[in-house]
Chain A
Amino acid sequence: MVGPLSSTNSNHDKTPTPRWVKWLGIVAVVLALSFVVMLLFGGSNHGPRRHMPSSGITEPRN
């Protein structure tokens, strides 16, 4: 459907994606992949206890 915002006939004066956006995208993808790798190989538990040192501390008795 050709409308006012359609992409047909509008590619002739498109400005390219800025370099800073490309670099930011690369950094974001690397960080996301690192996080996924960490989740896959660092254990599946990413709950609160994952961040706690192994001190043998149990939940407080109420």
Chain B
Amino acid sequence: MSPGLRRLALTIHVTFSVGWLGAVASSLVLCVAGLFSENPQTVRSAYLMLELVARFLLIPLGFASLLTGLIQSLGSKWGLFRHYWVIVKLLINLVACGVLLVYRPTFDHLARIATDMQLSEAQVLSLRSSSPVLHASAAVVLLVMATVLSIYKPQGMTSYGQRKRRYERKQKDASVAQLG
């Protein structure tokens, strides 16, 4: 990948990833509102909005972050499997996307019940659940971890990365020796 293209790929990946973190933080706010509000209208609204945020932001941004991360890592000097921090970020992304897909029916179920106008206020208030709060909180922690890893890039090369580096060094020494 040319330097310009690499920079573009990185910019796109960072945009999607930080956007995803923002969407997860927003969904946490909605989950907390849904759990702690005593107003049935607020609870309905929170779970309705949560389903929309999940469908149009959380899931698309999660997969966009995954795809752009794969593309830009393969074109960068860090690679995909050479450094532990990259592998951990990839695993975080895969787990978060997987849990999102598995949790999607819960979002749909909450939204469906929230739109049922035949429910009494007491029944609406009984919808309140800590599960979305727990899942959203865990997602925030994971994505902040991924962000920290991206910036700090802690040391640690995998066996594959070390072999690849040794091979590249040998190639470089060989070509320098040939020129000399």
Flag if B154 contacts A51 (CB, 8 Å): no
Most chain B C-beta atoms within 10 Å of own C-beta, residue among A21, A46, A48, A59: A48
- CA–CA, A24 and B87, complex, Å: 12
Q: List 20 A-B contacts (CB under 8 A).
A: A4-B167, A7-B159, A10-B162, A10-B166, A15-B162, A17-B156, A18-B154, A18-B155, A18-B156, A21-B156, A24-B88, A46-B102, A48-B109, A51-B131, A52-B110, A55-B126, A57-B126, A60-B113, A60-B115, A60-B116
Contact B159 A57 (CB under 8 A): no
Chain B hits for A6, CB < 8 A:
163
Q: Is B12 an interface residue (CB 8 A)?
A: no
Interface majority SS on A: helix, strand, loop or mixed?
Answer: loop
Q: Which residues of the other chain, A, contact B11 by a CB distance below 8 angstroms?
A: none
- Is B84 engaged at the interface, CB distance under 8 Å to the other chain? yes
Question: Does A52 contact B119, Cβ atoms closer than 8 Å?
Answer: no
Q: Tell me the interface secondary structure of chain B in the complex.
A: helix
Measured CB to CB, the nearest residue on chain B to A28 is: B91
Instruction: Give the tally of cross-chain contacts (CB within 8 A).
Output: 66
7 additional contacts (CB under 8 A) given A15-B157, A47-B105: A5-B164, A6-B163, A14-B162, A21-B84, A21-B88, A49-B109, A52-B127
A49 and B112 CA atoms in complex are apart in Å by 12
A41 CB to closest chain B CB, in angstroms? Answer: 18
In the complex the two chains form, what is the Cα distance from A13 to B160 in whole Å?
Answer: 13
Within 8 A of B (CB), among A4-35: 4-7, 10, 13-15, 17-18, 20-21, 24
Q: How far is the CA of A53 from the CA of B160 in the complex (A)?
A: 48
Q: Which residues of B contact A47 (CB under 8 A)?
A: 105
Chain A residue at smallest Cβ distance from B114: A60
Closest CB in chain B relative to A20 CB, distance in Å: 6
